[in-house]
Structure 1
Amino acid sequence: MIPPSRFRRAGILFVAASFSFSLAGCAAASDTPASVPGTAEASSAISSPQASDGRQISIVHALGTTKLDAPAKTVVALDGPWADAVLMLHGTLVGYTETYTHGTALGGYLGDLPERFGADATIVGTPREPDFDAIAALKPDLIVGSGETSGEHYQRLSEIAPTVLSEGAPTTWKSRYLVLGKALGSEGEASAMLARYEEEARRIGGEINAGASDPTISVLRFQNGPTRIYAAGSFPGTVLTDAGLARPKSQRGNQDFIKVTAEQVADVDADRIFITTSPLGGERSMESFRATESWPEIERRTVAADDAAWVTSESLPGAYSILEELARTFHVDGPTVPDGFAGYAGEAQDLR
């Protein structure tokens, strides 16, 4: 049995901090949208959320520059990672979209955040087909989402409320918090949250490496389609990198994922293999791997992980959940989480 969750709470230190990551590919500043959706990385020059003389907040993002007359309070999020970010930064989430993989549910790894900051949130369509009337009825101060999925609707969304659309690349998920923190008037809180997370990742990874002699980690996802190993360029890959945990040699490149078949099952081998199962055909996909001669030996090192947290969240709550599952697996203290975030307390599942 894996020990129960061991989250420890701590208040956030609302101070500025420096980070090891960068905001890449800043879009050119413009009051009009870029011509090609989703071609520039979401980023922002972080400054005071609103000057004392009442100047606008300007946010450079994937499709142009969006200006706010005052920090936003109510937000519609057109994809899951943005919804997570709104909740984590204690904005009021008034609308969010249904997803193909997980339907209308917000991630269980979010703890009590949906109840506290999104209790009245309603569904406003899907990322690719937002319900414009439903969004307008909510009268949000801000609309956020991904240029990749919602970019073609940018002009129409901007007519409803100021809209910020990011590139959505998993390797730059942290920039979402700085951009949103600027829009919400809580840059210091966003910076401190990221600094605290990175500090906890280093601590947990260091304790794991010391106690388990620098173990290698694989992340394998069974889904409807080719099975994937998530490599260094993926969201779980960035969390493992932040923790300083090693990957098998084949997974150290910058790619997001590597497709594997049952015949290539040996490629997933590592000291610990975290396995997620998509609710869409994941169990069926796993059957072919279970039928191979190599699987019984590999299965001894597998750990069932939360698919939503590890793969689709691309968010700070999801990253904390990954750290917690790593800590439980290697029997070290779990992460200290920010005040107001109950954290994920899921239990391990039996894969066999």
Structure 2
Amino acid sequence: MPVSARVRTRFRRTTAAVALLCTAAFAAGCADKHDDASTIIRTTTNIAGAGVVGADRDTATACPLPSAPDAGSGATRTVTHTAGVTQVPADPQRIVVLTTSALDAACALGLWERVAGAVTLDGDRTQPMYLGYGVVKVPSVGPIGQPDPARIAELKPDLILGDIAPAAGDYDALSKIAPTVLIGAGGSWQSDFAAYSAGMNRNDAAETAMQSYLTEAHDLGPALNAGQSQASVLRFTPDTIQIQGTETFAAQVLSDVGVQRPTAQRGPSSDITESDLATKAEGDVIYVMFAGPEGEDHGKKVLRSDQFEELGAATDKRVFAVDDKIWHTTGLTAARAILTDLRNSLNGYVTD
């Protein structure tokens, strides 16, 4: 159901009130866009009218300091996972990751500098940049979904983390190289993080990190009046417009914050057409992401279409482009990055 004109009018009035407050309190720093969650954020970079969120993202502290292994004696620990039972090092030093979510988990636990090798992404950026520039220097073990066992063996890992076939390849072959922990498909992103953390013998650190994220998310909701906003989330591939449903990573993080979704987006993900935009894409704010350059080309055409420009969020200049490699992935570090994006956009509008 499209967001009502009454809701959009309420937002405009709130915007005007905050603008006046900022004028009165300029000397106190209200004009600093990072100062206060209630401050209206103004973006100056856009894609087809959508304000780009996170272009100036600070990744210097994305990965914290190294966490300690779980307490206990012995050089190894027994880990039960989807592919079997494995004896893993109590404090692994050379980790090979076969998924982006495993790399994200290593970052979230402060162990990214122990990553000896990683699968790489398509495109000009071999690793997701929200994890920081250091990850780009991690040696490649092949493209995602096609790791090369020979390259992995050359790196002499003491732990391999990945998911069940096809992305990880043959478990028996990998386990002959090093202790290997593989997670299964279909779990939540939180359970995936817990499984990777268990492989690194960081259950306690993982629980602490997850609770810290949940506290931040729950505190952010009231600060942003998140319950008063319905956020539409769309993803453009080269030939489709996808509604990001409740099962997606982005939707789950929005739910953690308490952001509402339009009625038409409170179910599973689905593809829509331009003629569906008015009934299925409207929201108080619309977040869009693009699957690669071709997805961006398609998205630009839709964003410039009459059907999209007639949406209330487009008229109110409340359409924001977010990083597909953050909003369409899984991982605790990515979830924290989405919180930052929401802090800088949920109550915002585009000014150019």
Structure 1 length normalisation: TM-score?
0.73
SS state of the match for residue 83, structure 1? Answer: helix
> Do structure 1's residue 142 and structure 2's residue 134 form an aligned pair?
no
**How many angstroms does 1:224 deviate by?**
1.9
Q: Structure 1 residues 237, 220: CA separation in 2 closer, same or farther (over 3 Å shift)?
A: same
**Correspondent of 2:232 among 208, 218, 224:** 218
Counterparts of 2:185 and 2:225 in 1: how far apart (Å)? Answer: 31
Q: Structure 1 residues 96, 10: CA separation in 2 closer, same or farther (over 3 Å shift)?
A: closer
**How many angstroms does 1:149 deviate by?**
2.8
| Identical positions, percent | 28
CA contact (8 A) 1:5 1:328 kept: no
CA contact (8 A) 2:95 2:157 kept: yes
> Do structure 1's residue 239 and structure 2's residue 253 form an aligned pair?
yes
Counterparts of 2:63 and 2:272 in 1: how far apart (Å)? Answer: 43
Residue identity matched to 1:318: A
Q: Which runs of 4+ in 1 moved over 3 A?
A: 2-15, 48-51
**How many angstroms does 1:104 deviate by?**
5.1
**How many angstroms does 1:251 deviate by?**
1.6
**How many angstroms does 1:156 deviate by?**
0.5
Q: How does 1:45-194 map to 2 (within 5 A)?
A: 49=70, 51-52=72-73, 54=74, 56-91=76-111, 92-100=114-122, 102=123, 105-111=126-132, 115=134, 118=135, 121-169=138-186, 172-194=188-210
Structure 2 length normalisation: TM-score?
0.73
Q: Structure 1 residues 49, 183: CA separation in 2 closer, same or farther (over 3 Å shift)?
A: farther
Counterparts of 2:88 and 2:342 in 1: how far apart (Å)? Answer: 40
**Correspondent of 2:243 among 223, 229, 247:** 229
Q: Structure 1 residues 215, 8: CA separation in 2 closer, same or farther (over 3 Å shift)?
A: farther
Q: Structure 1 residues 93, 272: CA separation in 2 closer, same or farther (over 3 Å shift)?
A: same
Q: Structure 1 residues 104, 215: CA separation in 2 closer, same or farther (over 3 Å shift)?
A: closer
CA contact (8 A) 1:14 1:188 kept: no
Q: Structure 1 residues 290, 274: CA separation in 2 closer, same or farther (over 3 Å shift)?
A: closer
CA contact (8 A) 1:13 1:189 kept: no
Q: Structure 1 residues 98, 263: CA separation in 2 closer, same or farther (over 3 Å shift)?
A: same
**How many angstroms does 1:187 deviate by?**
2.2
SS state of the match for residue 252, structure 2? Answer: helix
> Do structure 1's residue 2 and structure 2's residue 2 form an aligned pair?
no
**How many angstroms does 1:151 deviate by?**
4.9
Q: Which has the higher helix share?
A: 2
Residue identity matched to 1:62: T
Deviations 1:123-171 (A, max 9, x none): 10123321111100111111111214335411111111111111244x6
Q: CA RMSD in A?
A: 3.2
Match in the other structure for 1:322: 338
List runs of 5+ in structure 1 lacking aligned partners. Answer: 16-47, 333-347
Deviations 1:147-198 (A, max 9, x none): 14335411111111111111244x6112233223333333222111110111
**How many angstroms does 1:233 deviate by?**
0.6
Q: Structure 1 residues 104, 62: CA separation in 2 closer, same or farther (over 3 Å shift)?
A: farther
List runs of 5+ in structure 2 lacking aligned partners. Answer: 1-41, 45-55
**How many angstroms does 1:207 deviate by?**
1.8
Match in the other structure for 1:34: none
> Do structure 1's residue 301 and structure 2's residue 318 form an aligned pair?
yes
Counterparts of 2:336 and 2:170 in 1: how far apart (Å)? Answer: 32
Match in the other structure for 2:24: none
Residue identity matched to 1:89: L
Counterparts of 2:62 and 2:324 in 1: how far apart (Å)? Answer: 27
Q: Structure 1 residues 283, 55: CA separation in 2 closer, same or farther (over 3 Å shift)?
A: closer
Q: Structure 1 residues 109, 261: CA separation in 2 closer, same or farther (over 3 Å shift)?
A: same
Look at both structures and tell me which one has the larger radius of gyration over its CA atoms.
Answer: 2
